[in-house]
Structure 1
Amino acid sequence: MKFKYIYLLGIVLLSCNTVDGNKSLSFDEAKAQWEAFGADSYSYILNTYCFCNNTGAEIYVENNKVVAVYKPGTNEKLVDINPNDGLEAEIASRYPTIDELFEEIVEAKERGNSVRAEFDHRVGMPVEIVVNEEQMAWDGGYALFASQLERIK
């Protein structure tokens, strides 16, 4: 029985602070890698966690603009996006592009928040952003998890 727990502890320790089993990328390295990847049309899954609300969205981006947002794994639209309705800023704040995830990291730090971020080694996109982790229990912090990036076109 002891060996089972030691084995599990070993797996947990090996998985900490790495993405894809490699040394963590710095913000600047990740941003440069994302820019070199050059995707302006793609989809990805974004999960948001905070004390009062946990949400998931499959976000479609074309020419660096959010064009569709679905409930992950379904054809159910979460948002009707109409460029003429004036809601682009609200949509962008709730359903960001990958570039806007990088901006969120910078802006959260500028607001004086503690920020922890991890990046995908293949393309540089942020895969985990945790803001004010120590305050999450009383809705003072939040976490964003991005995954399943697929290039469109």
Structure 2
Amino acid sequence: ELGTLGFECTLEEVDLEDITKNQINTIKACTSEDPETGNCPALERSTFDMSKCLEGIYKDLNIYRAELNNLNDQKVLATIDEMMKVLRTSSWSTPQLSAGTGLTSFQEKMRLCSILHAFQIRTVTINRMMNYLNSPESSL
């Protein structure tokens, strides 16, 4: 949004950064890690762990929440907080965040633009996974 970053943030202008790649996340927790699945990880009922999947979704949201804190967009942060509240269990920790310090350099704003687009794509994955878990056909 022009008002948030000071410029139009389009997907074509940034290289996406997966800030969750070295941690448990939705994709790792909700799909098979079988190397035979190639580029398209499979959801195997026999090895599916719903608790691990929900934890992966929660941790994704937590990581993005921390990164987007500097955006100072209360609507975005409140939405992520609500999603996390639904998923929260006593065994998952939530770090307490200080108020965002704001963005000062253009480079920081471009990185945030990249993270926003990566988060938008990840929310599609999370939404699809949640729809699958809530569908009667999943029988997990």
What TM-score comes out, normalization by structure 1 length? Answer: 0.28
TM-score under structure 2 length normalisation: 0.30
More strand by percentage = 1
